[in-house]
């Protein structure tokens, strides 16, 4: 495993981190979840990402129990706040009330006194940013979180939050966006702003929900039990990639992966790690073998010729529109 600084902070994270968005507490049984975490630890992964909303808070609980007997100082545990975790009007968003209550719930479920990174899961248009950042500052100053991050924020939002963080003397060091060969909406605005401010990217869906693994074939139904067939497993996110044009072009990447001595999934993960602003790529797994396969992308260097060949194949289907950085559903 290779390690990188998270932005310009002193915190080191594993190049490949383990996330449990759609697995722990929902898609896979607890024994399998524990086995995947064990495989991640054995492979040298030290960075684990979750969120209070995943599986209705169950994902945090499963991860907390899976890591309970590990040396806490040797781990980087990340979680998030924003999405609803209860039926009440204040069980969501980035109000002071929800943030302060949510961090205590996350710490209890994760069985830890602090998280290394506490992230705003989306931008909250209904709460003043000053209120949100002041709540985050109190959490950092109380020792419940060491660093602050955001997820799927636009460049202008990151800049404004970073300025407030400096005034409040807290380290806002990361953004967690969707990023892959097929989804590059952060490249034109978010990445240059983040490089200027010292913010690193912790990217999710580097394999484009499994599409870049090559397992989905044009003109054929998705394999039984795959993510594209399971609404609980993010089928809505994968739908935008499930066109014959995309799937045909992805199949053309297979010879390039073979040339590099990589699986398709390894090539996809290695590709995002070529971006120097990416601190870590999040991978999930329902089986330990997937972890063992994915971690082989750590430390891989792709030469310029290979990167150019990839672009020539998929350029017509790549999404680059920076306005798609955030979820339209979160607009007021």
Q: Is 179 an active-site residue?
A: no
Going from the C-alpha of 323 to that of each of 11, 110, 153, 156, the distances in angstroms are 30, 34, 11, 12
| pLDDT the model gives residue 242 | 86
pLDDT tens string 306-321: 999 999 999 999 999 9
Angle (CA) 113-33-76 rounded to 5° is: 35
Q: Give me the count of residues in the chain.
A: 332
Contact 117/6 with Cβ under 8 angstroms? yes
pLDDT tens string 216-271: 887 777 665 555 545 555 556 778 888 889 999 999 999 999 999 999 999 999 99
| 145-150 and 115-120 strand pairing | parallel
Angle (CA) 163-321-231 rounded to 5° is: 100
C-alpha closest to that of 283 among 30, 8, 43, 80:
43
Q: Which of 18, 54, 147, 179 is catalytic?
A: 54
Which residues are within 8 A (CB) of 292 and not within 5 positions of it... i.e. 6 or more apart?
Answer: 39, 43
pLDDT tens string 164-174: 999 999 999 99
Half-sphere exposure of 127 (CA within 13 A, CB side): 23
DSSP string, 81-92: E-S--SSSTTSS
Longest pairwise C-alpha distance within the chain:
55
Helix or strand run (H / E) with residue 240 = none
**Hey, what are 291's tokens?**
């972890």
| pLDDT the model gives residue 221 | 72
How does pLDDT run along the chain (332 residues), one tens digit per residue? 999 999 999 999 999 999 998 665 555 678 888 999 999 999 999 999 999 999 889 999 999 999 999 999 999 999 999 999 999 999 999 999 999 999 999 999 999 999 999 999 999 999 999 999 999 999 999 999 999 999 999 999 999 999 999 999 999 999 999 999 999 999 999 999 999 999 999 999 999 989 999 988 877 776 655 555 455 555 567 788 888 899 999 999 999 999 999 999 999 999 999 999 999 999 998 899 999 999 999 999 999 999 999 999 999 999 999 998 876 555 43
| pLDDT the model gives residue 223 | 67
């Amino acid at each position: 495993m290779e390690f990188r600084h998270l932005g310009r902070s002193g915190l080191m994270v594993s190049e490949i981190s383990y996330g449990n968005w759609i697995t722990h507490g929902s898609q896979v049984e607890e024994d399998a979840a524990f086995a995947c975490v064990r495989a991640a630890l054995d492979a040298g992964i030290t960075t684990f990402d979750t969120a209070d909303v995943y599986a209705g808070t169950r994902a945090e609980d499963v991860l907390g129990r899976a890591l309970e007997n590990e040396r806490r100082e040797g781990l980087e545990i990340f979680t998030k706040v924003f999405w609803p975790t209860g039926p009440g009007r204040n069980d969501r968003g980035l109000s002071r009330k929800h943030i302060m209550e949510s961090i205590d719930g996350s710490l209890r479920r994760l069985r830890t006194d602090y998280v290394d990174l506490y992230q705003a899961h989306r931008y909250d248009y209904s709460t003043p940013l000053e209120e949100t950042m002041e709540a985050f500052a109190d959490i950092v100053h109380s020792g419940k979180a060491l660093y602050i991050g955001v997820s799927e924020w636009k460049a202008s939002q990151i800049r404004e939050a970073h300025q407030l963080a400096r005034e409040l003397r807290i380290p806002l060091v990361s953004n967690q966006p969707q990023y892959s060969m097929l989804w590059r909406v952060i490249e034109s605005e978010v990445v240059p702003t983040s490089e200027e401010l010292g913010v690193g990217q912790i990217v999710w869906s580097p394999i484009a929900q499994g599409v870049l693994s090559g397992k989905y074939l044009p003109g054929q139904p998705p394999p039984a039990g795959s993510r594209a067939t399971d609404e609980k497993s993010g089928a809505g996110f994968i739908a935008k990639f499930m066109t014959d044009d995309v799937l045909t072009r992805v199949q053309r990447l297979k010879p390039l992966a073979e040339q590099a001595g990589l699986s398709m999934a390894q090539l996809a993960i290695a590709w995002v790690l070529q971006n120097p602003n990416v601190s870590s790529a999040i991978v999930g797994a329902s089986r330990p073998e997937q972890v063992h396969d994915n971690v082989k992308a750590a430390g891989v260097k792709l030469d310029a010729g290979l990167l150019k060949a990839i672009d020539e194949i998929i350029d017509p289907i790549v999404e680059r529109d920076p306005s798609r950085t955030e979820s339209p559903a979160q607009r007021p």
